[in-house]
A = this chain, B = another copy of it.
């Protein structure tokens, strides 16, 4: 009770107790600080005695940034995104930053929110996929604020980007289905795709066309399990009757499709139709699905993102960079193995 009214000790208190100046205290708590072993000890002792802790607010006021990084993500409760956020958060923390999480679905809110982040003098911002409006990125540019875009189209040539190699991904997918004996391909994708979703599907379609193979495109309302399932059910056996190799834009959609195919339409997989997803979310490996897919290495991705961010914070004049993260096929039970 009375406890809460006790003022937190300041560097001044520590300085007095240790018999040194406040600058000395500051130096001890500053990573590159140059202090004699003797003062360092005195200060450390006094500090721990008092329970002193640097006030990051005051420190941030002095330096160029507060050590906070804005982490913007929509659909956080989705398997891929939650994994991304976890890895990004851990990577940021490991490097001494503190992630401020902005979750918002409507672009309008997001803009206001990010506005308010700027008030905290964030060191930079990480924007995942479908989150932010263009205007917002323009804003960051105006502020000279470091930005890393994850699986997202670039805007105004501002910020670094980490993207999956959609070109290769889509090609890989087509190749894989064809090599497994598929003759008539299908592609399930959301009506309004995000950068990476559309990118990989485009590459898939282009590859098929190049090889002279027809592709039946099936639309789902959105990227959710339910929409994917509904999309397949709506298309129905007729439309699918000819398709024997279905590429789905994401694993989540593939799982919806799988349930629709097997349970709603009574088809057998991979005998009647092979199914291939993208991402390798955890659920893809669950025994009931055992989904073949193309994996994005999210941990690796996060590390690249944070590295780029740190480099840019250190040097804002760097040219805009784009890094591609590798993809790897994961063959499970929804495709036919060859050899």
Contact = CB atoms under 8 A, between A and B. Distances in A.
Contacts of A53: 115, 118-119
A79 B76 contact: no
Contact of A99 (B101, B118, B289): B101
A195 interface: no
A115 B4 CA distance: 17
A156 to B, nearest CB: 12
A258 B66 CA distance: 48
SS class of chain A's interface: helix, strand, loop or mixed?
helix
Contacts of A1: 317
A194 interface: no
A259 B60 CA distance: 51
A231 to B, nearest CB: 14
Interface in A48-82: 53-58, 60-61, 66, 68, 71, 76-79, 81-82
A290 to B, nearest CB: 9
Nearest to A109: B93
A79 B83 CA distance: 10
A16 to B, nearest CB: 20
Contacts of A100: 68, 98-101
A121 interface: yes
A60 B56 CA distance: 10
For this complex, into which size category does the number of interface residues on chain A fall?
A: 35 or more
A213 B142 CA distance: 69
A98 B120 contact: yes
Contacts of A297: none
Contacts of A83: 77
A90 interface: yes
B286 A101 contact: no
A76 B92 CA distance: 15
A44 to B, nearest CB: 15
A75 to B, nearest CB: 8
Contacts of A5: 144
Contacts of A89: 76, 101-103
A296 to B, nearest CB: 14
A116 B98 contact: yes
Nearest to A4: B144
A48 B99 CA distance: 28
Interface string A249-261: 0000001001110
8 contacts: A3-B144, A4-B316, A57-B66, A77-B282, A98-B120, A100-B100, A100-B101, A258-B288
Given A57-B57, A77-B79, A89-B101, 6 more contacts: A3-B141, A5-B144, A55-B61, A57-B66, A57-B119, A68-B120
